[in-house]
Amino acid sequence: MSHIDRDRLVGLRREFHRHPEPAWREFWTTARIVEELEAIGVDELYVGRDALDGDSRMAVPEDAELADWLERARDAGVDEDTLAAMDGGYTGCVAVVDCGPGPTVGLRVDIDGLPRAESTDDEHLPAKEGFRSETGAMHACGHDGHATIGLGVVEAIRDSEFSGTLKVFFQPAEEVIGGGKAMAASEHIDDVDYLYALHLGLDHPTGEVVAGIDGFLAVEHLDVDFHGAPGHAGAKPEEGRNAMQAMAAAVQNMYGISRHSDGATRVNAGVVEGGTASNIIPEDVRAQVEVRGETTELKDYMSDRVRDVVAGAARMHDCEFDVELGGQAPSATSDQALVDFVMDAADGADGVTSIVERDALGGSEDATFLMQSVQDRGGLACYVGVGTDHPGGHHTATFDVDEDSLPVGVDVLVGAIERVAERRP
Amino acid sequence: MSHIDRDRLVGLRREFHRHPEPAWREFWTTARIVEELEAIGVDELYVGRDALDGDSRMAVPEDAELADWLERARDAGVDEDTLAAMDGGYTGCVAVVDCGPGPTVGLRVDIDGLPRAESTDDEHLPAKEGFRSETGAMHACGHDGHATIGLGVVEAIRDSEFSGTLKVFFQPAEEVIGGGKAMAASEHIDDVDYLYALHLGLDHPTGEVVAGIDGFLAVEHLDVDFHGAPGHAGAKPEEGRNAMQAMAAAVQNMYGISRHSDGATRVNAGVVEGGTASNIIPEDVRAQVEVRGETTELKDYMSDRVRDVVAGAARMHDCEFDVELGGQAPSATSDQALVDFVMDAADGADGVTSIVERDALGGSEDATFLMQSVQDRGGLACYVGVGTDHPGGHHTATFDVDEDSLPVGVDVLVGAIERVAERRP
Amino acid sequence: MSHIDRDRLVGLRREFHRHPEPAWREFWTTARIVEELEAIGVDELYVGRDALDGDSRMAVPEDAELADWLERARDAGVDEDTLAAMDGGYTGCVAVVDCGPGPTVGLRVDIDGLPRAESTDDEHLPAKEGFRSETGAMHACGHDGHATIGLGVVEAIRDSEFSGTLKVFFQPAEEVIGGGKAMAASEHIDDVDYLYALHLGLDHPTGEVVAGIDGFLAVEHLDVDFHGAPGHAGAKPEEGRNAMQAMAAAVQNMYGISRHSDGATRVNAGVVEGGTASNIIPEDVRAQVEVRGETTELKDYMSDRVRDVVAGAARMHDCEFDVELGGQAPSATSDQALVDFVMDAADGADGVTSIVERDALGGSEDATFLMQSVQDRGGLACYVGVGTDHPGGHHTATFDVDEDSLPVGVDVLVGAIERVAERRP
Amino acid sequence: MSHIDRDRLVGLRREFHRHPEPAWREFWTTARIVEELEAIGVDELYVGRDALDGDSRMAVPEDAELADWLERARDAGVDEDTLAAMDGGYTGCVAVVDCGPGPTVGLRVDIDGLPRAESTDDEHLPAKEGFRSETGAMHACGHDGHATIGLGVVEAIRDSEFSGTLKVFFQPAEEVIGGGKAMAASEHIDDVDYLYALHLGLDHPTGEVVAGIDGFLAVEHLDVDFHGAPGHAGAKPEEGRNAMQAMAAAVQNMYGISRHSDGATRVNAGVVEGGTASNIIPEDVRAQVEVRGETTELKDYMSDRVRDVVAGAARMHDCEFDVELGGQAPSATSDQALVDFVMDAADGADGVTSIVERDALGGSEDATFLMQSVQDRGGLACYVGVGTDHPGGHHTATFDVDEDSLPVGVDVLVGAIERVAERRP
């Protein structure tokens, strides 16, 4: 499609890539998107507090952490009004483009980065080309590309044959599965008849389009704390109530929760930290745990069993414990009518060399909250995979997106949106 | 003893208490001691690099960490010359006071704080009286009092009947058992004929003096690292090599190392941290472990067994591992002749209400390196306990010293030093 | 079908139920089957050594154990010739019935019991009706019914319209997945063109027939031994090398082997035993472990990881270890042509109230060796489920088969065999 | 001493060695002792029920096990009257020898074997000389020698200069610390003024006598049961509540109970067994656990913590649990006056080449119940070590006593008993 400017998309993506901000800290990112949207011109624009239901946010970081990233955004030149709309961790925005009479079609793109370091290896393109992360965080899951494609679709839609209303949800905090629910609980989703969501990569090469992704694992994040008592490890070890032993027992046994014959389950104690010094019996230890299931029931089974394990581990080592629910997301399925539109749009599109009708994600996503919301009201939803050659796996230090996939994403999505309006199912 | 000014000791102690600096980061503390020593007037003064054998330092933090605390000391007004002598983590000092002909008597006091938060409870005197820690670290083991008593002895010795040379070792990094060896490996210990070391508290009340402390556990710090591989916890969990499971297995099993019939042993995984995010199979996990034994052989037994456990845990979960030796210290015994002098000095001293001939420490100390060095050359050494009512246990957030014990410490030690010169064994 | 005598089937089944014999110990059971086959009259009959490839047997018990059960069979009146053919644990038999020209159709039924106690509860029919196990073992998986149906089919086939050769494989040692390979490696399978296998129950009620069962998990049994050193637990605990700690670490961590995104996996440490006395550090500990996978690759993944875990646990606790392969079985699929015959035969058969085309087993079976052998030579195979109301779950103390399902099994299988000959695919 | 017949002692010891019977099963052994005592001639003889307080017995085996060993004793020719006195596991006897006016001096010897196999190695003297165990159990702790020495002392005492009453307690069930309390709770101990107990070996060579043994660890045996639910490991693993995982977690964590600064502690999960089959989630698992402490308080600390660990492990894996107290024994100290008599008796005795005043046992003993009982009433007690070269450690398959130590034991004990009467403290 001639109206898609690859260079502009690449430029935007690299800019986002240099400024990754983790969940609920996307102050600069949101502001930058807003800036672009205003330049493009949209009919309505909701930012921060106005874009989501604040009380439905999950896994929001501590105030100090939020303040720190807000300050960084301020230092990077974000204006005070935009910051004010987001202060307290209300990031993301919703853009509405009125393209005439017709259905309301939503597009959801996520915009957050991951709290991990990026590779400095010369083979790593962002390092080589000088757009490596400057924040310590990293866009290791392609959300820099997603935000870019979201802007690209807004830009391209007016030149397309689409008639109807386009709403693009620039969603924060997907990586902590904390933002999807907040956007799904806002009024912005209420009039969306059809929803597309998008992901780059997922082990599909550049040129391949997966029309409908399913197999979303329901997921739940749990913050587990053990609280014991300190003691001098040499002089009075018995005075300690050892929170580290409790945690080690819990970790050992939560991975050992029985597989379930009803389907796939997952558990991970992804982050553990605690203790004071090598000569003090560890008093406080924390873990970030997540469980998943092929169905919500299976996820709940895992969650219940993790809670048993944690309670038992605390009992063993005479510690107190706390299990706090972080983010969560349900499962979801892509509707065939929209899958068909995506296949049709992909067929013959520039750069598309292979079309896969359906594939399973295997992981989790909180786009499912928005999909579920639309589907519950009788609408249709579809999660689209846009292949991209990525040298490292998702979430690793050398992940990168092949920028050739950016125009493909814009093109296919615009086509799929057009088809909804034309052939409304 | 009329020449001991309690108020001055209390003032110094509170000043130190407000500025706790952990091991090898005692830039401000050392400088403040140097300032006082220069004000008092000593005959020789060795600071930082000149006070210890740099290569024998153990458990030195990363450069960035050292630089951070150096910068804080600079901000707090420490002059550049003193900082230069300490740059790179060469803290502590040795003061020499020439009091005429006679033996060389050493006194070792340690000056470092602990990397832990201090209580904000109103019942906690430093909180109530406004001299709570301002650095985030805490003097939770009384080293603020030790440094104060060291200065008090220097000040009082000239007015005493002592004839000989007094050397006071203001030793850094005791809490990581990292500084004792470095001072013991310096030339300053070579001519010390008699050595006293000192500790406040140890569960003895104000007014009680323990003339000779024994039962030092030999100790060894081990930094344990597991390195696996990341993997998406939902989509590709099997691609991970889970360093957290390895660590949990190691922690579980190292506490389970068999007791030994030859005597007391200890093990503690005091600090554990690792992992990236809840949805990534943890790739890197680290622990700070320590082992102790009633004898060096028992400590070695524990160390060997911990290494077996770590190697096995890595094998289990297909991870690489690394065990790096941090600080260590041997055991030691107080010589009876000096114990007798301390008892004699304590007998009738102001504020002393109870004298205990000997008690066991139960913990570890790297004063043992200096004691061993003196004893190996035919000298005598003695580790003295000066009781102090302490509301919380050592290393806990509410630990505090009863300031009445400060003049007791100065008085008894000066008396014990005098007696060495008079009745040289 | 009028020629099926329910009472006779019930009588046979109850007789088998009273004499359960675990894997490779089916001396009495085999002899009793042989007796019946001879009474019915078959064309060829291969017993014990002649029925299977002895070297391919897996999970054969110790000689003493075999001798003990052989002796019991002798005491129960089995004649010496038949015992001689089975001596050493060569149980099972193959019966051949020549019904004229046509294909060779195999039927495989398994005949072994489980080494577990049977319920004495009055609600438990075998207890109430007086045919509870007399051997200490138990038919807790319905193989008493399978043997009975096998005999019933032999008896009914001559009166049927089947033209061809029927071979019934009365297979031993299914429960330890040890006998299937031995029968599949014998020459008796070589000319089998079509194979049916059979299972009662599987959570399907009486009257329901599952025409084709799939979803066999590939399985592997592993005997894990840890060998350490004893030590007096009070006086010299450190002299022990603790095989129990090694086993506990291994058990904890083998259940914690990561789930796999390619499909279902299983692991179980089903039996553990070891140690000498409470005051001796345990020297020898053994476990019977099994792993499964939706595919052979997944089973191998689990097996490899269990071996890592065991090796690591041994390393941790300075023990030697041994992992010995017990039985194993691959996965398999039912061929549609035979599934169709079963559906057709079940349609309208007496007592059949519900037909399910396909269902997944979820468990494992070594009938897969025979199925694979037939399929590898271009033949077809099908595993049929015959529903039966069972009060307790398979392998539990109150499992029982509803005897109404016995004639259903005979009827449907004879019908399915007839259809092969008639409409040979 | 000319009246000690080495050959006779060796003959008795070998006879006992061939018939080892574990705790509460010493039917043959007691009967054989009774036979000898009757032949020697004693003034009073209490057997079985009459020798102890039946209700105070601990760790008594199941009835079936007792009946089995009783039957073996019957088969070996023990007469019915003696069996009747012991039926139900009331083993052991008390012999009284009146030697004129004077104090009552007790001697306690234990008579039980261990439930372990004996070496068949040709280097192992009992194997080589043909008096290896014939029962499957083993005298691997020298109690065969203790019983022999007890008889030798009875035999020799009349020829000695002892004036007073000698009571010899042939105590059963020491290895399970189950019999000492029962004898201490009987009336036989009530008039004992002085008590000696005895042990061979303990790593002291032949010719060495330890006059007073201390350092008995208080001990407690705990039978731990986990009860979960079975489930088919392939088809329905989630239906299981895994008692093996609970046990593995418990074992891992009980060894990890913190060391105590007050003194030595011990813990051992000496025997674990459970589960049904490799394909069933384990439903029932049992362990024989013991804890010890240098003091009763330390033993209680360990016992309390084990109970926490077990409760937590059950909670983790949704199992029920039960912790039942088996045997237990307190600590004790040898009185100096008796220690002095032993040293004096040993000085110059035939075959004594070395005298050690005191040594620590390191292990546990339920002779402490009898010692405590005598001491509580103002009497004195002393536990004597008689060295013996033993090729293997206590409780191992190659343990053996050097028979030269048998006359030494008789001689020294008779001398020590004489001295009590002569110089009554």
Share of chain D above pLDDT 70, in %: 99
Chain B contact for D391, CB < 8 A?
no
Q: What is the pLDDT of residue B360?
A: 85
Please name the residues in contact with D406: beta carbons below 8 A apart, sequence gap of 6 or more: D6, D9, D10, D13, D145, D148, D149, D152
Query: B143 a known binding residue?
Result: yes
- Summary mean pLDDT of chain B: 95
Kindly list the residues from chain C whose CB atom is less than 8 angstroms away from the CB atom of residue A252: 252-253, 256
- Residue A336 parent element (H or E): helix A336-346
When scoring A262, A316, A317 by the number of chain D Cβ atoms within 10 A, the one with the most, hence best to mutate, is A316
Q: Which residue of D has its CA nearest to A309?
A: D316
Above 50 in pLDDT, residue D205? yes
Domains contained in chain C, CATH given:
6-216+332-423 (3.40.630.10), 218-329 (3.30.70.360)
- Do D315 and A315 lie within an 8 Å CB cutoff? yes
Compute the radius of gyration of chain B from its Cα atoms: 22
Kindly list the residues from chain B whose CB atom is less than 8 angstroms away from the CB atom of residue D261: 264, 362
- Residue D258 parent element (H or E): none
CB B266 within 8 A of CB B292: yes
Tens of pLDDT, residue by residue over B157-202, are 999 999 999 999 999 999 988 999 999 999 999 999 999 999 999 9
3-state DSSP of C385-418: EECCCCCCCCCCCCCCCCCCHHHHHHHHHHHHHH
Q: Which amino acid would we find at residue A246?
A: A
Tens of pLDDT, residue by residue over B339-362, are 999 999 999 899 999 999 999 877
Query: B93 a known binding residue?
Result: no
CB A383 within 8 A of CB A126: no
pLDDT band at B3 (very low <50, low <70, confident <90, very high): low
Q: Which amino acid would we find at residue B241?
A: R
Please name the residues in contact with D53: beta carbons below 8 A apart, sequence gap of 6 or more: D182, D183, D185, D186
Chain B contact for C217, CB < 8 A?
no
Q: Which residue of C has its CA nearest to B310?
A: C316
Kindly list the residues from chain D whose CB atom is less than 8 angstroms away from the CB atom of residue C303: none
- Summary mean pLDDT of chain D: 95
Please give the full DSSP string across A352-373, using - where no structure is assigned. --EEEEEEE--S--THHHHHHH
- Annotated binding-site ranges of D for Mn(2+): 141, 143, 175, 199, 395
- Do C312 and B256 lie within an 8 Å CB cutoff? no
Compute the radius of gyration of chain A from its Cα atoms: 22
DSSP state of D172: -
Chain A contact for C266, CB < 8 A?
yes
Chain A contact for D311, CB < 8 A?
yes
Chain B contact for C97, CB < 8 A?
no
- Summary mean pLDDT of chain A: 95
pLDDT band at A2 (very low <50, low <70, confident <90, very high): very low
Measured CA angle at C303 (ends C297, C309), to 5 deg: 140
Nearest-by-Cβ selection for C236 from B245, B261, B311:
B261
- Do D244 and C251 lie within an 8 Å CB cutoff? yes
Above 60 in pLDDT, residue A178? yes
State the average pLDDT over residues B62-78: 96
Chain B contact for C314, CB < 8 A?
yes
Q: From residue C63, how far is each of C77, C404, D168 by CA, in Å? A: 21, 39, 47
State the average pLDDT over residues C313-326: 96
Kindly list the residues from chain B whose CB atom is less than 8 angstroms away from the CB atom of residue D362: 261
CA distance B18 to chain A (A): 20
Q: Which residue of A has its CA nearest to D260?
A: A238
Whose tokens are 């599909």? That residue is: A204
Tens of pLDDT, residue by residue over A363-402, are 789 999 999 999 999 999 999 999 999 998 888 899 999 9
Q: What is the pLDDT of residue D323?
A: 97
Chain D contact for C175, CB < 8 A?
yes
- Do A312 and D312 lie within an 8 Å CB cutoff? yes
Above 70 in pLDDT, residue B95? yes
Share of chain C above pLDDT 90, in %: 89
* Whole-number Å distance between alpha carbons of D268 and D288: 8
When scoring B116, B268, B298 by the number of chain A Cβ atoms within 10 A, the one with the most, hence best to mutate, is B268
Tens of pLDDT, residue by residue over D254-273, are 999 999 999 999 999 999 99
CB C245 within 8 A of CB B248: no
CA distance D231 to chain A (A): 11
Tens of pLDDT, residue by residue over A121-170, are 999 999 999 999 999 999 999 999 999 999 999 999 999 999 999 999 99
pLDDT band at B211 (very low <50, low <70, confident <90, very high): very high
* Whole-number Å distance between alpha carbons of C63 and C88: 7
Compute the radius of gyration of chain D from its Cα atoms: 22
Above 80 in pLDDT, residue A362? no
CB B85 within 8 A of CB B48: yes
Whose tokens are 């240098």? That residue is: D294
Q: Which residue of A has its CA nearest to C217?
A: A261
The subunits that touch chain B, with at least 3 C-beta pairs less than 8 Å apart, are: A, C, D
Longest dimension (CA), chain D: 79
Helix then strand then coil, in percent of chain C rounded to 5, is 35, 25, 40
Task: Tell me whether strands A284-293 and A265-275 are parallel, antiparallel or unpaired.
Answer: antiparallel
pLDDT band at A3 (very low <50, low <70, confident <90, very high): low
Chain B contact for A292, CB < 8 A?
yes
Chain C contact for A396, CB < 8 A?
no
Chain D contact for A301, CB < 8 A?
yes
- Residue D346 parent element (H or E): helix D336-346
Q: Is the ipTM beyond the 0.90 threshold? A: no
Q: What is the pLDDT of residue D3?
A: 61
- Do C313 and B308 lie within an 8 Å CB cutoff? no
* B76, HSE (Cβ side, Cα atoms, 13 Å): 22
Kindly list the residues from chain A whose CB atom is less than 8 angstroms away from the CB atom of residue D313: 312, 316
Chain D contact for C228, CB < 8 A?
no
- Do D270 and C272 lie within an 8 Å CB cutoff? no
Chain D contact for C266, CB < 8 A?
yes
Task: Tell me whether strands D194-200 and D104-110 are parallel, antiparallel or unpaired.
Answer: parallel
CA distance B241 to chain C (A): 9
State the average pLDDT over residues B290-312: 96
Tokens found for residue A339: 């899958």
Share of chain A above pLDDT 70, in %: 99
CB A94 within 8 A of CB A168: yes
User: D168 forms bridges with which residues in the sheet?
Assistant: D95, D107
- Do B235 and A270 lie within an 8 Å CB cutoff? no
Nearest-by-Cβ selection for D253 from A249, A308, A309:
A249
CB D160 within 8 A of CB D102: no
Q: Which amino acid would we find at residue C272?
A: V
How far separated are the first and last CA of chain C, in Å rounded?
A: 25
When scoring B216, B272, B278 by the number of chain A Cβ atoms within 10 A, the one with the most, hence best to mutate, is B278
Q: What is the pLDDT of residue A153?
A: 98
Q: What is the pLDDT of residue A361?
A: 80
Q: Which residue of D has its CA nearest to B250?
A: D252
Phi-psi bin for A173: left (phi > 0), alpha (psi -120 to 50), beta?
Answer: left
Chain D contact for B252, CB < 8 A?
yes
Task: Tell me whether strands A165-171 and A208-214 are parallel, antiparallel or unpaired.
Answer: unpaired
* Whole-number Å distance between alpha carbons of D362 and D355: 19
Kindly list the residues from chain A whose CB atom is less than 8 angstroms away from the CB atom of residue C265: 259
- Do A316 and D249 lie within an 8 Å CB cutoff? yes
Reduce the DSSP state of residue B227 to 3 states and report it.
strand
* Whole-number Å distance between alpha carbons of B150 and B142: 12
Tens of pLDDT, residue by residue over D411-422, are 999 999 999 999
- Do A259 and C261 lie within an 8 Å CB cutoff? no
* Whole-number Å distance between alpha carbons of D417 and D410: 11
Q: How many helices (H) and strands (E) does chain A have?
A: 12, 12
DSSP state of B282: -
Please give the full DSSP string across A273-313, using - where no structure is assigned. EEES-TTB---EEEEEEEEEESSHHHHHHHHHHHHHHHHHH
The subunits that touch chain C, with at least 3 C-beta pairs less than 8 Å apart, are: A, B, D
Chain A contact for C268, CB < 8 A?
no
Chain A contact for B235, CB < 8 A?
yes
Chain C contact for A299, CB < 8 A?
no
State the average pLDDT over residues D41-55: 97
Tell which residue, B175, B181, B166, has the closest CA to residue B40: B166
Kindly list the residues from chain A whose CB atom is less than 8 angstroms away from the CB atom of residue B255: 242, 245
Chain D contact for A255, CB < 8 A?
no
Above 70 in pLDDT, residue C280? yes
Q: Which amino acid would we find at residue A287?
A: A
Q: Which residue of A has its CA nearest to B22?
A: A277
CB D145 within 8 A of CB D409: yes
Q: Which residues of A226-239 are buried (b: 16+ CB within 10 A; e: fewer)?
A: bbbbbbbbbbbbbb
